Structure 1
């Protein structure tokens, strides 16, 4: 992320360097100073962020800094998540706020004088002139505008601050490096990457000249440049920056420091994206342990990183490891938030999906039922998350059906329960779609579009699942020759109708995949002998096998 210079005045009479970079995304971390020590209190604001970077003369770092990075992770999709992409799409709309935290920095000096945050020059005087004064004003005002999202106005002030820093402190002064980082961070937010990169590099170059190649400030700047490269998926560049930053932090801070774990984690992410899953897994697991041992095991950031490691384990089919971590996450949520929190519900639901995949179906069912109970308390009765929850439960019931071992009464109860869950899922999803459609095309915000996508996907999945359930039920009741197609086919025809009504022929992403799945299941039913299908009112709207196959080809060809 970026670096920003913030002048500090400490009543502890120091003339040494106090350094701290606070990271946050998508919120802003706003530092508040309190004496006699430097005390940062963080709060989150839902606008683009800027980090604070403070220069004095000498480095002294307390060993208990909590790192503050709230990530926007675009994690690799797992095969397990594919069980219900709509659920996670819907839940991802919930805003995530950074946790409150504070940090103390203690810096003392024998000089006994107040310190303004300006760097002492060789002749013992303090640089102070009209340019340094303007630099401070432009930096502070630019930062305020940046936090307000007024990027154009902030850019003008940051450009001016950079010029004043050069004239007031000298072209190669660390204050110039800070000004470069401020402007680079602004350009990063504006996605003006071609303008940002030279500024990041210039800042690193100045810091290396001023403090040496192994200084912690260089390490922090390299970490920020690594973030910049990672954002653009320039993985080789990000890897080089993080690797060098990690070496510096190990030498200066030691391997038990949370700041060291911070860079280790991001290097692990880069390795994972580069396809080196084994080394990535080890680095990320080690970084999480260091972070926890450093006293941050109850932070939001810690939980986010555990979830990332879960996804890695799932993708590498290490499901037992994934379950163990998910149990830990759920326990943390239960203790800190209780079951009247959607965060706890989401943690339990994620664990239930993994338990389902390893065959622990009864435990998965119990967890999902508890999730449903909580959602019904916390959400309106027709909320789409409730529909998604019931769809998951219906799928678990179908898996449980395979364990009934020929017990007809038990199998029938399982099937009937699943059908009730799917019926309610379909009803809620249709209601949600009808409500969204009534809002009209002129009110289509991005949130509405995402909500429509989620509701339609859940509806298609539920109808597709209902069709499979009807086939299972017919086989159980040995009525294959009479009603195998009737109810199953009706569900698939409803699936096609829903897609054309609500999807408006826009087949994309997971909706496209689910629609094609419905079509293929229908084509399989149409291949059955005609005497295995009962005649009903659906016959008039039943497509031919050729029509279904043509539709499959048409949709699959869409880009």
Structure 2
């Protein structure tokens, strides 16, 4: 307990200053094209009611270097898109929280209420288990029971509509989901008034729906409405500000987005949640914004703060702490601070070797990053100390050989256990693991070709017709590996994997001086 108190005390010195960004936004008059009379909520005041509202989804926040699908850092491979983050389509359990939010809290007083409750609770259980077809039938029964027992415009109907809409969102049946969201909002507005918290939560769910489809303006309007309903002082306002910040960032309004996200972080810290999972993820998202705008020093500051919190609250023998350290190491690498980057990456590798199997893909990614740092060291020393530069390249080569070996082992394991993993893992786990392993393998082979070319340069082999055999072999392996696992062995292709393959192909064509078969 004393450790947490000490951490909280120290974090007070690290907090972001309040930006006081809470200006009212102007409603876009045609945003919903007459589907719902939402915009008159802009003229209402904040509601005084305070109920316990939590995030309706488990937010998956991008980090510039962290592949969040498996908790690894592999350049920017598989960093979660902000749309995915906010929609949480792949996590029915996270959405279950949202299903409970807009219910009327009336006491079970009649048979209709009891039956509605049974249908709803059982449907939620199926939803949490991923049994969406069974859940859908029960949610439909809950709507029918609510309408029969309470009337077409009762809050029980709104709750049931919202639940079914959330299920359709997860199933990507978007044409079915939207009318249900709108019906729920209309019923709640008529029952409780436009400035009720339950209306705000229902509109928030609609915002999640729009954000998942990249309908950014509609999502922005929804979050603005919820923000107005809650009021700046509400305990849950930080969530709305953050989600609105994500939308504004995707719309290219970086300054406004940054101000909102920083304010949402500050509010969490002042509420004693500075060490929470949600706060850490928002800090990671903020560092991503800084990295994408090449504000390396500010990204480093945020990432140092994350690592500091993780060290105090979790300790080093915790994989989330290792991921935070690795993100910082890659930012230091981008700023040219190879010494500190290398020290952090070596520490991450040692901890991972203690916590994970020797062939875990995180270890392969860690070795790839160490190889890249060694190459940077070589570049810095090749003019002054050739022998040291060669030693760095030999070290990089050794790291890459191990990274390639581990990535191949992981791919083979994924393919062999594919059917077994489907039975015991969440849908898509093995697919994602295979994609990440393949991306790391392609990156490692490409980097190996760079090592061989740098080594050739140090040896002063300048003849143009002297093809570097080792570099050639690495590139040909990269190309053949892509064809083997994507075309023949059913690892799903992604833009990231495709880009790695095309990089290998382009370098091979430049190196060989002729077109290489794709």
1:237 to 215, 218, 224: 218
Pick the structure with greater CA Rg: 1
The answer as to whether partners of 2:245 and 2:258 remain within 8 angstroms in 1 is: yes
Match of 2:54 in 1: 67
Matches within 5 A, 1:265-276: 265-276=242-253
User: Which secondary structure state, in structure 2, belongs to the residue aligned with residue 258 of structure 1?
Assistant: coil
Shift in CA distance, 217/240, structure 1 to aligned 2, threshold 3 Å = same
Give the TM-score normalised by structure 1. 0.70
- Give the 3 Å change call, closer, same or farther, for CA 214–511 of structure 1 in structure 2: closer
Measure, in 2, the Cα distance between the counterparts of 1:225 and 1:424. 47
- Pairwise CA distance, 1:150: 4.0
Q: Kindly indicate whether the alpha-carbon contact (under 8 Å) linking 1:474 and 1:484 is maintained by their aligned counterparts in 2.
A: no
For the residue of structure 2 that corresponds to 1:295, the secondary structure is coil
Q: What's the offset of the Cα at 1:488? A: 2.5
**Residue equivalent to 1:188:** 169
Structure 1 position 440, deviation (Å): 8.1
Is 2:455 the counterpart of 1:477? no
Higher relative contact order (CA 8 A, sep 6+): 2
After superposition, give the CA deviation of every residue in 1:158-205 in whole Å (9 maximum; x if it has no partner).
Answer: 333333333433433333322332333333333333333222222222
Q: How does 1:461-540 map to 2 (within 5 A)?
A: 461-481=443-463, 485-504=468-487, 509-527=495-513
With structure 2 as the length reference, what TM-score do the two structures score? 0.75
Consecutive unaligned residues of structure 1, counting only runs of 5 or more, are: 1-57, 103-115, 120-126, 528-544
CA contact (8 A) 2:287 2:303 kept: yes
Q: How does 1:152-301 map to 2 (within 5 A)?
A: 152-250=133-231, 255-301=232-278
Partner of 1:391: 368
Task: Note closer, same or farther for the CA distance 1:288–1:69 as it changes in structure 2 (3 Å cut).
Answer: farther
Q: Post-superposition shift, 1:501?
A: 4.1
- For 2:264 and 2:496, how far apart are their aligned partners in 1? 34
Query: How do residues 100-111 of structure 1 correspond to structure 2 at under 5 angstroms?
Result: none
Instruction: Report if the CA contact (8 A) 1:394-1:421 is conserved.
Output: yes
Residue 389 of structure 1: CA displacement?
0.8
Cα distance in 2, alignment partners of residues 140 and 98 from structure 1:
14
Q: Number of matched residues?
A: 441
Map residues 37-186 of structure 1 onto 2, 5 A cutoff.
60-61=49-50, 65=52, 67-73=54-60, 75=62, 84-86=75-77, 117-118=105-106, 128-186=109-167
Alpha-carbon deviations, 1:276-312, whole Å to 9, x = none? Answer: 2221121111112112212211111111111111111
| Aligned mate of 2:291, from 314, 317, 332 | 314
Mapped to 2, the partners of 1:394 and 1:325 lie a distance apart of: 25
Separation in structure 2 between the aligned mates of residue 187 and residue 87 of structure 1, nearest angstrom: 25
Q: 1:199 to 1:384 in 2, by over 3 A?
A: closer
Deviations 1:13-45 (A, max 9, x none): xxxxxxxxxxxxxxxxxxxxxxxxxxxxxxxxx
Aligned partners of 1:138 and 1:161 also within 8 Å: yes
Does the 8 Å contact 2:61/2:282 carry over to 1? no
Residue 408 of structure 2 corresponds to residue 425 of structure 1: no
* Structure 1 position 395, deviation (Å): 0.6
For 1:171 and 1:500, the matched residues in 2 are separated by 57
Q: Which runs of 5 or more residues in structure 2 are unaligned?
A: 1-46, 68-72, 98-103, 423-427
CA contact (8 A) 1:495 1:518 kept: yes
Residue 376 of structure 1: how far off its partner (Å): 0.9
Question: 1:31 maps to what in 2?
Answer: none
In 2, Cα distance between the equivalents of 1:526 and 1:150? 53
